[in-house]
Homo-oligomer: A and B are copies of this chain.
Amino acid sequence: MLLAQRQSKRLTITQIAKEAGVSTTTVSKVLNQLPGVGEQTRARIQAMIEQHDYVQNHAARHLRKGQSGLIDLVIMRLEGGYDIGIMKGVQEVLEESGHRLVISTTNEDEDIERRWLRRIQDQATDGVLLLLPYERIGIADTLMAHNIPVIAIGDRNEPTTAYPTIGSTIWLGGYTATEYLISLGHRRIGIITGPLHLTTSRARLAGYREALERANIPVDPTLICEGNYLLGDGVQQTFALLKHPDPPTAIFAGNDAQAAGVYQALYQHNIRIPDLMSVIGFDDVTYAAQMSPPLTTIHQPLVEMGKMAANLLLRLIAGQTLESNHVELSTSLVLRTSCAPPRQESLPI
């Protein structure tokens, strides 16, 4: 791994101390320009540090360049799902570049957003990553108006945006999920979408339709339910699907939170997954693997999206021009144990 290779070229304090024949405290004093080290020793350690390209004072480096060394990540709400993967990826890149990651949450509160915008204009930031719903993305325009580099993470709702965006291949994910269920033998597949005014929700649904059409399975509109990406929507829409005169044998949930809701509704009716109902999710958040049974889902490369966003932001900060204003990373199918061939018996309801 490149990261590990680059790290290994740097010497640790312990290694420098050993090579110089002094204590780590002495090396630390030199690094931090503290008193208590003889001039000769100091010069010798300093030379050794420079010789080994010991990158230590990132803050000073950034300040020399007129930069703060701070990158802001603004999240609507800390939920422990989608947000964690993105944060991990961003953190990994910034740990390597020596930037510090500042986290803010807005909780969809306009006052907090406004105050945050005010502060970010006053305060030092090298650039901003936004993880916000589309309704709030006006923030990006304000940042751009103040010449603050900005990149939005999460698929865009409009085909073009003034600021760069990082997303994943959502339509293909919807297609892959549905095609997989069809390959297991399913013909009646329910879908619980996200809000259908969002392009990303429509993309999942369009992928679902595409897979059905390719397999010559007619689209049954009574199997299409709209949710709001919340667990409760998964519960309610599953109850509705179970009341259908000809209920589906598989359910495709628009995100993993809704899939958790599908699980709860099925558990209440004692309908075993995958024996009596297959369930597939979308996102592959941390808890997907912790569900019972572990959830088969469409993996959004959240960590990689965070890394890509951070890397592109660093390039913007360095004054480079990006190849494209929108980048999509590939979704993929993660096979766990929540899908199986369709049931041969009727549902126990």
Enumerate chain A interface residues (CB-CB to B < 8 A).
Answer: 7, 12-13, 28, 31-32, 56-60, 69-70, 72, 78-81, 83-84, 87-88, 91, 95, 98, 100-105, 111-112, 114, 118-119, 121-124, 146, 231, 257, 260, 263-264, 266-268, 270, 272, 285-287, 289-294
Contacts and interface: CB of A to CB of B under 8 A. Distances in A.
Contacts of A267: 292-293
A19 to B, nearest CB: 16
Contacts of A286: 79-80
Contact of A287 (B56, B83, B268, B287): B287
Contacts of A13: 114, 118
Contacts of A101: 102-104
B88 A100 contact: no
Contacts of A292: 260, 263-264, 266-267, 291-292
Determine how many copies of this chain the complex contains: 2
The list of the 5 closest CB pairs from A to B, nearest first, reads A80-B80, A59-B123, A267-B292, A80-B84, A260-B290
A78 B69 contact: no
A88 B95 contact: no
A111 B272 contact: no
Contacts of A291: 260, 291-292
Contact of A111 (B12, B28, B98): B12
Given A31-B118, A59-B122, A122-B57, A95 B78 contact: no
Given A78-B87, A231-B290, 17 more contacts: A56-B118, A58-B119, A70-B100, A80-B84, A84-B84, A91-B104, A95-B105, A100-B102, A100-B104, A101-B102, A103-B103, A260-B292, A264-B290, A266-B292, A287-B287, A291-B292, A292-B292
Given A60-B122, A112-B95, A290 B287 contact: yes
Contacts of A87: 78, 103
Contacts of A28: 118, 121
Contacts of A79: 84, 286
A316 B95 CA distance: 28
Nearest to A79: B286
A270 B270 CA distance: 10
A266 B292 CA distance: 9
Nearest to A24: B114
A105 B91 contact: yes
Contacts of A7: 111
